Amino acid sequence: MRYTTAGESHGPEEIAIIEGIPAGLHITEEDINVQLARRQHAYGRGGRQLIETDTVTFLSGVRHEVTLGSPITLNVHNDDHNHWAAIMAPNTPATHENSARKVMRPRPGHADLVGGMKYRHQADLRNVLERSSARETVMRVAVGAVAKKLLAEIGVDVHGFVLNVGPAKGDASQIAQYKSLAELRAVTESFPTRALDAETDAKIREVIDQTKLNRDTVGGTVEVIAVGVPVGLGSYVSADEKLDAKIARAIVGINAFKGVEFGGGFENKDKFGSEIIDEIFWDEARGFYRGSDNMGGFEGGMTTGEAVIVKGVVKPIPTLYQPMQSVDIDTHENHRASTERSDTTAVTAAAVIAEAMVAIELAKAVLDKFDADSLDRMKEQVAAYRDEILRF
């Protein structure tokens, strides 16, 4: 499976093309729209989300709600494009009027300055901004929704949620507190916040509200948990086949993510080996299993069969309503950076995006390992493999 996305933030459409999804997967636009809504309506977002109604259209690869095995094209319309049609027009030469919203003062913390230097966009840094915007993540969530549907067919369930925002502490992995991922989902699905308990939920909302009043932005930590993952996805034999490494790349590839960890993560460094190594047990029903999951479901770059637990750190987003110091790329004079309207935090939406990225990497690994032409054949192979592993 591979995918690509295309689209500018204020252009007419966002597009994704996915190749390698087996024939025979039941999927509807609504399956995807549910996930898009979780991203779009996350707490702490700005005015743009009041304009958009993120819904997907299938343009290829799906017939009568079933995948054909051919490339799947997904499309989400940018409703805001109406307000930008002249400025984004692909077929009209630049004029004084349609270049009205030029960006000449790069926004610190964005791709503006380096992207401008790299692509020689010295006439207008909007040419960088439009694609570097996290608007593109709407398509990653759409692709992730297809991946989640595929994974559900083999009993893999992936869920992402917010652990903390700003100084509201408490970023210990949550899975241990819950009997099942379904239970965890039941309490965290109610975005805007993780809602693990009413007090923390209220604290997180308060931090976001107060940050907005301060005309500032705030970061935080998200967690993604996947259960039902088969043993042995990824491989130790070559560095680029390690699945934990692929997931780390996929997480840090999301706009504004600055860190990633697995299981106990950075906290493991403060403990002794005897406290954190996941010991091996066996029983008839489960076969081999670990007594704990401090490694977040990976040994040697391969899934152990325990829950995959991934955390990501999201920076406070860079566009503030109190613009930061920058320099005009034309005059080289000091100026306040350009301001676009902005979210207060990306953390809440980022939990949904991180979930999508983990689902995509797990789905890719499953499709690499098993026959991926027909869904039924893939499921037969996965079942036979699970049975073999149980009897090891």
Ligand X SMILES: Cc1cc2nc3c(=O)[nH]c(=O)nc-3n(C[C@H](O)[C@H](O)[C@H](O)COP(=O)(O)O)c2cc1C
Per CB under 6 A, residues contacting ligand EPS are: 9, 46, 48, 52, 133-135, 138, 255, 340-341, 343
Q: Of 87-95, 205-213, 312-320, 323-331, which segment contacts ligand X by CB under 6 A?
A: 312-320
**Footprint (CB under 6 A) of ligand X, residues 108-137:** 109-111, 132-134, 137
Any binding-site annotation on 255? Answer: yes
Please tell me whether residue 350 binds ligand X under the rule CB under 6 A. yes
Among 24, 46, 259, 323, the residue binding ligand X under the rule CB under 6 A is 46
CA-to-CA distance for 262 and 167, rounded, in angstroms?
A: 22
Any binding-site annotation on 133? Answer: yes
Select from ligand EPS, ligand X, none the partner in contact with residue 135, using the beta carbon and a kind-dependent cut-off of 5 to 8 Å.
ligand EPS
Peptide bond just before 192 cis, omega within 30 deg: yes
Select from ligand EPS, ligand X, none the partner in contact with residue 153, using the beta carbon and a kind-dependent cut-off of 5 to 8 Å.
none
Residue 59, both tokens: 């343009």
Any binding-site annotation on 180? Answer: no
- Side chain identity at 52, as an amino acid letter? E
Any binding-site annotation on 37? Answer: no
Give the up-direction half-sphere exposure of residue 35: CA atoms within 13 A in the CB hemisphere. Answer: 32
Please tell me whether residue 254 binds ligand X under the rule CB under 6 A. yes
Any binding-site annotation on 341? Answer: yes
Residue 319, both tokens: 């566009």
Is the CB of 114 or the CB of 176 nearer to ligand X?
Answer: 114
CA-to-CA distance for 110 and 101, rounded, in angstroms?
A: 17
Is the CB of 103 or the CB of 295 nearer to ligand X?
Answer: 103
CA-to-CA distance for 258 and 222, rounded, in angstroms?
A: 12
Q: CA-CA-CA-CA torsion for 358, 363, 365, 368, nearest 10 degrees?
A: -160
**Residue recorded with tokens 């805007």:** 192
Is the CB of 22 or the CB of 160 nearer to ligand EPS?
Answer: 160
Among 164, 319, 326, 338, the residue binding ligand X under the rule CB under 6 A is 319
Any binding-site annotation on 326? Answer: no
Alpha-carbon torsion 302, 304, 308, 310, what sign?
negative
CA-to-CA distance for 307 and 351, rounded, in angstroms?
A: 17
* Helices and strands, number each (H, E), in the chain: 12, 16
Any binding-site annotation on 377? Answer: no
Distance separating the N- and C-terminal Cα atoms of the chain: 29
63 pairs with which residues across the strands? 66
Select from ligand X, ligand EPS, none the partner in contact with residue 138, using the beta carbon and a kind-dependent cut-off of 5 to 8 Å.
ligand EPS
Binding site for FMN: which residues? 131-133, 255-256, 300, 315-319, 341
Question: Which residues are near ligand X by CB under 6 A?
Answer: 46, 109-111, 132-134, 137, 254-256, 315, 317-319, 342-343, 346, 349-350, 353
Which residue positions form the known binding site for NADP(+)?
39, 45
